[in-house]
Structure 1
Amino acid sequence: MAVAVALTSRRLTARGGPSGAVLDIALWAVPFGIIGGRLYHVITHPTDYFFPGADLWKTLYVWEGGLAIFGAILFGSLGAYIACRRAGLRFLSFADALAPGMLLAQAFGRLGNYFNQELFGTPTTLPWGLQIDPTQPAFPTGLPEGTLFHPLFLYEILWNLLGVAIILLAEKHLNLRWGRALGLYLVIYGMGRTWFESFRLDPTEFELGGFKINMLIATLVAIAGILLIIVQSRRHPEPETDPMLPIRQGGSGTPADDVCVPSDASVPGAPGRGRQG
């Protein structure tokens, strides 16, 4: 989280955003993300929490593990959207600034999977195979102790770091504003996660139509990213000159999407500078 906040703050400020805004947004996004991550985990692992005699309070025991990234992204985005509206900042401008920092933060977060012996794949004889304690719930029945498995957490770390490099390099040559950097993030992460989930071992994996729910969600995420890039490229071929929302007419200072005030205009009663649409 700290890595994402630091990088995003630097990128957003360089684009004309207010200093300190990213930390304010994080105060909304992080709690929403934790709630969403836990909710998604519980829903997709129902047999871990809902059975005869189960203690339903354990659905709230985040400290025992179980936060899903897709739920965290969805609910965290909702919290970030609310915070952006309060700050008069375009959500997509914030999301574009966040995109590489998000992948970098996810790469750091995956290090925890090594210590917890989580997120590993099918058996392998490759020299970088991961040894898992046979007492782990995901350890396949019938395999001998000492079997090596694909270190999916490591694959995702490397994939995410590659994604960071792709976004940063692409921004030097392409117009990745107006939500297009966010779209590229969704494509990169969605594609990688779809592949990783195809050979991930999970003892309580929720399925839908015979497919792992995480594979389906990851595929939809990648498709959503492609659509976002296409739509925003058609809607906004022009450069983004200001990450701030335009100010509503009438001097209330309330941001609105449909009314633009020139950057050199003076708006009586409105806080801060005029904002360019």
Structure 2
Amino acid sequence: MDPVIEPLNRVAISIGPIQLYWYGVLIMTGAIIGLWIAVRESERRNLPKDTFVDLVVWGLPISVLVARLYYVTFQWDYYSAHPKEILAVWEGGLAMHGVLIGAVLTIIVFAKVRNLSFWKLTDILAPSLILAQAIGRWGNFMNQEAHGGPVTRGFLESLHLPEFIINQMYINGTYYHPTFLYESVWNFIGFLLLMSLRKVNLRRGELFLTYLIYYSVGRFFIEGMRTDSLMLGEYIRMAQVMSIVLILLALAVIWFRRKKGYANMRYLDNGVKVD
């Protein structure tokens, strides 16, 4: 007989008809902590005090919008038949690569308007981004999504996971790989790595490009374990394609900027000159 295991409540706060879901709470928590880290670092890097607060005011809603459009586009067969669910972001369905696209486009425009270096902004923001991703993945956990294929309870216990994680991975009578956790741990390690690399004084832009490479390597392999991937055709996982593209693009940009002399400034240089 299958065990009776109730999933965790996806609703964090309920006030009358208003419900606040853990998915949104965790995403916002990651964004707020990431913003706090970026603001502290921006003061050290001699940027105007409110730079990242202003950037996030524009960048967060734009990134969420692009992330949702990205997700809906690759699930159009479903959403074309259920148009009312397109706006139901609390149910999940924010593609991280969509977030990146929205964030980069926003920073490009923001940097031009404020006459700041795009690369300096993204270098400062890189640790915050990957930490926010690490925290945000727990929203997938609460929604019982972004998991891998079936496993046994014994396998999950062999990972020495807390009971609440094991139980939450029991979905419709089957235990699943906690791929949300694998990516969260990978991203948290990446956060520690990027924070350490701040002290190395890399060439400007290369902290952000390292983030793209590191995140993409982990996402490529973890994505191969997931059962809910956005697909390009029948067999190609879109996140794996994007991961390969981002790795190659980041390496090419590093090579090009060094060759052309565009990366002579260093991370710890405090000037705000556009480059």
Matching residue of 1:47: 77
Q: Which residue in the other structure is 1:24 paired with?
A: 54
Q: Does 1:90 align with 2:128?
A: no
Mapped to 2, the partners of 1:59 and 1:13 lie a distance apart of 39
Task: Pick one of 227, 234, 244 that aligns with 1:201.
Answer: 227
Q: TM-score, normalised by structure 2?
A: 0.77
How far apart, CA to CA, are the structure 2 residues paired with 1:12 and 1:177? Answer: 17
Q: Which of these two proteins has the greater Rg computed from alpha carbons?
A: 1
Gaps of 5+ in 1: 135-144, 247-256, 258-277
Tell me the TM-score normalized by structure 1: 0.77
- Equivalent residues of 2:45, 2:270 under 8 A apart: yes
Letter in 2 for 1:229: I
1:39 offset after TM fit, Å?
A: 0.6
Q: Name the CA distance, whole Å, in 2 between partners of 1:12 and 1:231.
A: 26
Contact 2:183 2:218 in 1 (8 A): yes
Letter in 1 for 2:69: L
Shift of 1:103: 0.6
> Is 1:244 paired with 2:269?
no
Distance, in Å, in 2 between the alignment partners of 1:120 and 1:64 is 15
Within a 5 Å distance, the mapping from 1:51-66 to structure 2 comes to 54-66=81-93
How do residues 103-252 of structure 1 correspond to structure 2 at under 5 angstroms?
Answer: 103-125=130-152, 126=155, 127=157, 128=159, 130=166, 131-134=169-172, 145=173, 147-173=174-200, 175-202=201-228, 205-208=230-233, 210-234=235-259, 235=261, 236-239=263-266, 241-246=269-274
**Compared CA separation, residues 55 and 111, structure 1 to 2 (3 A):** closer
After the TM superposition, which segments of 4 or more aligned residues of structure 1 sit over 6 Å from their partners?
none
Q: Which amino acid aligns with 1:19?
A: K
Tell me how large the CA RMSD over aligned residues is. Answer: 2.0
Alpha-carbon shift at residue 17 of structure 1 (Å): 0.9
Q: Distance in 1 between matches of 2:187 and 2:203?
A: 20
For residues 204-236 of structure 1, give each alpha carbon's deviation from its aligned partner in whole angstroms, at most 9, with x where no partner exists: 732247311111112212222222332333322
Which letter maps to 1:40?
Answer: Y
Q: As a proportion of its length, which structure holds more strand?
A: 2
> What residue is the counterpart of 2:101 in the other structure?
74
Higher relative contact order (CA 8 A, sep 6+): 2
**Structure 1 equivalent of residue 42 of structure 2:** 12
SS in 1 for 2:180: helix
1:47 is displaced (CA, Å) by 2.1
Percent pairwise identity? 29
Q: Is the 8 A contact 1:38 1:68 kept in 2?
A: yes
The runs of 5 or more residues in structure 2 that have no matched partner are: 1-30
